[in-house]
Structure formats: structure tokens, C-alpha cells
Amino acid sequence: MEFFIENFLNHLLIERGLSENTLVSYRFDLQLFDLFCKKQRYDPLGENNRQAVTHYLLGQKKMGLAPATISRRLSALRRFYRFLLTENLLLTDPTANLESTGSPQRLPHFLTNAEVDTLLAQPLTFKPAGARDKAMLELLYATGIRVSELVSLDLDRVNLTHRFIICFGKGARERMVPFGRAAHQSLTEYLSGSRTKLARGKLTSAFFLNGRGDRMTRQGFWKIIKKYARQGNINKEVTPHTLRHSFATHLLENGADLRSVQELLGHADISTTQIYTHVTRARLKEIYDRAHPRARREQTGF
């Protein structure tokens, strides 16, 4: 089993280009299943492997694990066994037609347009750090990139003339993402003098710098966005990912198609992007219930 797991992980790394963190998760989940099979004397590659998978998942549920965790472990097994099928190492897929745990899909938190405006208005742009913060917030909301992609941006990856950035997402997948006039203005203002002051004479390719002239870190930006959320009295949990969720939700609410949003977010699978259709449907229902006269009052029969 260990041999096949290693082959599978190598396939994910070389052929699919998945990130190291994703590979670590797959390895952990598959090794956990292998350990279960050894203890229960199941052969995960033999005739009783479907029984092994079912017994394993039921055991996970009885242990009280979160439904999302169990679903992730089933997903890892599914992908592993489908790989073995394509390599002609198995004749049937023991995970075929197995239902997930039915975990409720957690809808992503996002900000309203007014809350985004409030957040983006907080930095004091006459200060170098404030100009940087404004540029980072504007770019994050304008592109929907991940915070890791934001802080890893280099100077040569930002094209101010044509208003786009080139970033590397999960699995080192490169994509080009456009940004609008507001982000362009903030980025230009940041580069016009603030970045030089923050650099403190250091030569670095990093686009966004901290107060010591080094590349801004994820943890540093988390503290920045939390500070501005408190300052703006936004009574929600606000993280860099909240702006990513807001970006996707607002695009779909204003008519963008799902495939385009998938490309902009850098999702390998459109099923990942589809969560936002649930958000927009819920939002539309909320607007309808609030706005339609016969949705707001009880029917009396008259």
C-alpha cells in the first residue's frame, strides 16, 4: 500500500502540480486509512476493499469527527482509487456511488459593498505604511487573489500600464488577473514614493514591504486587515480571505459568469467556485423577502 500511495503522490506532484500542503494532507489521510486496514485485517487493494472503506468512514463518524473532515478523507480515497483504476491496478472503484457524510456546506463570509468601501477608506494614505495598506487592500479586492499570492508579488509581476498582475497559485499554476482603476491609482501612489521610504535603502524585488524594508508577510497583513476592520466598526470576522470571497460574490451578483470567476480565482475545479452560487442565491432570496410586499406579510386569506 505504501508503494502505491507514493506513486499516487508523485502523480499529483508531477502531473497535476498540486501544492506541498495538499500532498501532505493526502498522505496523512491515506496513511490513516492504511493503518485502519492493517488493524482490522482488511486488504485495501483486495476484494473486500469496499467494505474496508465503508467500515472506515463509519468509524470516523462514530469518533465524532467533523463532517467536513470525513468528506475530505473520502475525497482522498476517491482520488487514490481512481488513480489505481487508470493505472490498471484495480478493476473496480470501491468508492463508487458512496455518499459523502452530507455535511452542510459552509457558506463563505463576505462583506457588503458598503462594508468594503468602509474598510478601504481606513488607511491614512499620506503615510508610507498607509499608502501601502491602501494599495494592498484595493488590489486584494480588485483581483480576489489569495493573501499568499498578494505578499509574494514581485515588481516585475505587476503591469501598471495594462492593469494586470501575474501570480502563482496553488500547485505553482500561473495566471494573469486584471485590476481596475481604483487599484491602479492606489498602486501608482504607493510606488510614487512610499515604497522607497519603506525600503530603507534595501534592494528587493518584493512589491509590498513592511516597516523594516523586507517583504510583507501573511501574518503581518492579517494584523493590518484586522486593525482596519476594528477601526471601521465592521462587526464581522474580516480576514484576507473575506475580501477574496467578497470579490467573487460581488462579481456573480453583478452578472459575471461562473467560468470567468473560476479563472480569476485560480480554482482548478469549477465545483470549488460553485459555492458562490449558493451565496448569491441566498442573497437574492434575502433581497426578495425584504423587498416583495407579499413576501413580507402574512397572508390572511382575503
The rounded distance, in Å, linking the Cα atoms of 145 and 139 is 8
Catalytic residue among 55, 170, 215, 283: 170
Catalytic residue among 73, 132, 134, 244: 244
**Catalytic residue flag (residue 146):** yes
Catalytic residue among 134, 241, 245, 250: 241
- Cell 487508470 belongs to 86
**Catalytic residue flag (residue 226):** no
Q: In this structure, how many other beta carbons lie within 10 angstroms of the beta carbon of residue 101? A: 18
**Catalytic residue flag (residue 267):** yes
The rounded distance, in Å, linking the Cα atoms of 251 and 17 is 28
The rounded distance, in Å, linking the Cα atoms of 85 and 93 is 7
- pLDDT in 10s for each residue of the chain, 302 residues: 889 999 989 888 877 777 788 888 899 999 999 999 999 898 888 888 888 898 998 888 888 888 878 888 888 898 899 888 888 888 888 888 776 554 455 667 889 999 999 999 999 999 999 999 999 999 999 999 999 899 999 999 999 999 999 988 766 678 899 999 999 999 999 999 999 999 999 999 999 999 999 999 999 999 999 999 999 999 988 999 899 999 988 988 888 888 888 888 887 767 677 777 766 666 667 666 776 676 655 444 43
Catalytic residue among 73, 132, 146, 195: 146
The rounded distance, in Å, linking the Cα atoms of 187 and 134 is 8
**Catalytic residue flag (residue 134):** no
**Catalytic residue flag (residue 109):** no
Catalytic residue among 50, 157, 163, 267: 267
Query: Domains (ranges, CATH) in the chain?
Result: 2-86 (1.10.150.130), 113-287 (1.10.443.10)
* Residue 207 DSSP code: S
**Catalytic residue flag (residue 241):** yes
- How much is the pTM? 0.64
Phi, psi of 130 (to 5 degrees): -65, -40
Contacts of 34 (CB under 8 A, 6+ apart): 1, 2, 5, 44
Length of the chain, in residues: 302
